[in-house]
Amino acid sequence: MSDSAAPAMLSPRVLVPFMLTGTIWGSTWFVITGQIAGVPAAWGVFYRFMLATPALFALALAMGQRLKLNRAEHLLALGVGIAQFSGNFLFVYHAEAHITSGIVAVMFALLMVPNAVFARVFIGERAQGGFIGGSLVAIAGVALLLVHEWNAAPLGGNVLLGIVLAIGGMLAASIANVVQANPTGRGVPMVSFLAWAMVYGVAFDLVYALATEGPPQVPSAWQFWAGTAYLAIVGSVVTFPLHYNLVREIGAGRTAYNAIVTVCVAMGLSTLFEGFEWDALSATGMALALAGMGLALRSRQKK
């Protein structure tokens, strides 16, 4: 993608999916905590994508997209599926057993860093000075938010392990974000590509859950299945095609800034429903994160 071909950030084709994915994913952190309280994390991830996979194939058929992939496309879908729909979510769900979801969400706001690095390595996407400067400001803001969450949230379990798992999830998501935008990935319709990637991911999730947790544990509470359906349909089928299209449209680094929107929404919901109390540290951190996002998104990108 050249500068001349890149759409403006404020154009509806970019701004609407950018804000929508960030807003929806901001709501999913609350739902995930309920899922891992109902079943082991491995089975929670499997149930989510077990429901999402047929819905994604149905969407691809409704859109008239081709479902047949060649060997290279299947191999790419395999890699993306294991990285995104297995590695990323298994790391995240397991991380939330050791550290609070707020800390995990805030850490994922730093996704723009590995995205920019991997995009440079794998697809030759160069970050410009404005993006780098804005990212440094945003990182400072996220660091303050992380300090606030660390101080305010009672942590249990192995905190260091939780942080390492969250970093692992972030790196897996970043690799999946970037490699799908290579020439092979761009040749496949987005929804059908993600449907096949999810097939491979959910197959890996099933094997992992059986190997680590034994036979399936099937909750009977309707709240669990309602939450799982929300994560599968709204939090996955709706958002992932929009998100991956953004990576192809505006680049992996700038797309990752919807994680800042995610944190804003998550903290807003926490303020309304969980009694989150703002202080000078958290307010300053949020202001810096938003300012950095604005600076970075105004920069132009080159390949």
For 265-296, the pLDDT digits (tens) are: 877 777 777 666 788 988 898 889 888 877 77
Phi and psi dihedrals of 66, rounded to 5?
-70, 140
Q: What is the pLDDT of residue 189?
A: 92
Cβ partners under 8 Å of residue 115, min gap 6: 174, 177, 178, 252, 253, 255, 256
pLDDT class of 98 with cuts at 50, 70, 90: confident
Q: What is the pLDDT of residue 5?
A: 52
Place of tokens 């958002």: 239
Greatest mean pLDDT range, 7-11, 53-57, 101-105: 53-57
Higher pLDDT, 245 or 12: 245
Q: Region 175-186: what's the mean pLDDT?
A: 86
Cβ partners under 8 Å of residue 283, min gap 6: none
The CA dihedral of 155, 160, 161, 164, to the nearest 10 degrees, is: 120
Cβ partners under 8 Å of residue 211, min gap 6: none
Q: What is the pLDDT of residue 303?
A: 43
What six digits make up the tokens of 184?
């092979």
What six digits make up the tokens of 38?
């109902």
pLDDT digits (tens, 9 = 90+) for 141-165: 888 887 887 777 655 556 778 888 9
Q: Region 297-302: what's the mean pLDDT?
A: 57
Q: Angle CA(110)–CA(111)–CA(112) in degrees, nearest 5?
A: 90
pTM above threshold 0.85 = no
Instruction: List the domain boundaries for the chain.
Output: 12-298
